Amino acid sequence: MSETRIVPVDTPSRSYEVYIGRGLLASLGALVTKACPTAAHVALVSDSNVAPLYAPPAAESLRAAGLAVTTLPFPAGEEHKRLSTLGDILERMAQAGLTRADAVVAVGGGVTGDMGGLAAALYQRGIQVVQVPTSLLAMVDSSVGGKTAVDLEAGKNLAGAFLQPSLVVADVDCLATVSPDLLRDSCGEMIKHGVLADERLFERLREAPVCSPGFDPAGLVGIIARNVEIKRDVVGTDERERGRRQTLNLGHTIGHAIEAASDFTLGHGSCVAAGLCCMARASARLGWCGQDVADRIVACVEAYGLPTNTAIGHDALLEYATRDKKRRADGVTLVVPARIGEVELRRVSLEGLRRIIDLGCGGVAPWT
């Protein structure tokens, strides 16, 4: 496990370690038995795209460590992140005879992490889960922090639970099979983390885009670790999103609306990047941040070839944004970039949200 970084995460409900490095799948079994000492049997949850690639070596390592393994593939795609798919996974876990002492090992991207994590949270009222992210987006964001959910017809991630993993194992070698477009899409969340908490990371990402040809995957280990540290520092102080953790939603209110309005045909990271730029433009026009802040954010997103705006109608964006689970009766809490590396939470009415969409999306509103 050379060149491996270990990031400790400490939350009120559980403390665990995030391993980031190359060739870690071979050591998965040893790491799981250490983190989940009561487990004798694991359910290896993976989608139909990732399972053929990484379920066999993961299962081999787990079995070599003395664990029984039941592999539970499910159809790939956001459209399958539904209660029906979750129910099928739970039924197969029960048929396989998993007990409360056992664990789920989720091998894949963000959808797999959600499905495996929520299955673990529900099965026998909660068993342990190990996250093994194979996409860059999952490595830097969704595998850490304990959020698990499925989508409902009314919106994204509306049915879920908090369950911190017992272990996260991010094998950077898995990124070799990620398409360039998907790798680029994942960078939206990394840019967000830089704007949120680390100007140095933001500048590093801007100056040397990690999706550029010839970028050494080994160089990603440190970048991924820094992203995990940023999320760790937030989640550790606000595990259930009652305060500071809301800052991780930077770019997400408009980004999730873009994602839903596109019927999930646009990647999550691309939508977050566009939402981040829209919020930055609106914030500059409202005097909440300097124009230079918005310009730097847009320029960084452009350097990755990610969208900086949306042509989706404002009525549609408002409709989807108001379906968001972060909405309260009197409005929404928005995350505003005050400067690179620092954000603020601002409470706005639904009318205020409409104005921000008008100011930030698809051009300048007539009243500015």
Q: Could you confirm whether 249 is annotated as catalytic?
A: yes
Nearest residue to 102 (alpha-carbon basis) of 58, 43, 29: 43
Residue in 92, 156, 193, 252 annotated catalytic = 252
Q: Which of 256, 285, 296, 354 is catalytic?
A: 256
Q: Which of 22, 245, 281, 354 is catalytic?
A: 245
- Active-site position among 193, 206, 232, 268: 268
Active-site residue among 22, 239, 249, 285? 249
The rounded distance, in Å, linking the Cα atoms of 84 and 74 is 11
Residue whose entry in the numeric block shows the structure tokens 């040397």: 208
What are the Cα distances from residue 2, in Å, to 20, 40, 171? 10, 28, 11
Whether 241 is a known active-site residue: answer yes
Q: How far apart, in whole angstroms, are the C-alpha atoms of residue 123 and residue 94?
A: 8
Counting beta carbons within 10 angstroms of the beta carbon of residue 84, is it exposed (0 to 12), middle (13 to 18) or buried (19 or more)?
exposed
CA 55 to chain centre: 21
> Is 199 a catalytic site residue?
no
> Is 49 among the catalytic positions?
no
User: Pick the catalytic residue: 92, 184, 226, 241?
Assistant: 241
Q: Is residue 268 flagged as an active site residue?
A: yes
How would DSSP label each residue in 289-324? S-HHHHHHHHHHHHHTT------S-HHHHHHHHTTS
Task: Give yes or no: 41 in active site.
Answer: no
Active site residue 314: no
Is 242 considered catalytic here?
A: no
Catalytic-residue membership of 325: no
CA nearest to 159, candidates 189, 112, 121, 132:
121
147 a catalytic residue: yes
* Catalytic annotation, pick one of 80, 81, 92, 147: 147
Residues marked as catalytic: 125, 147, 189, 231, 241, 245, 249, 252, 256, 268
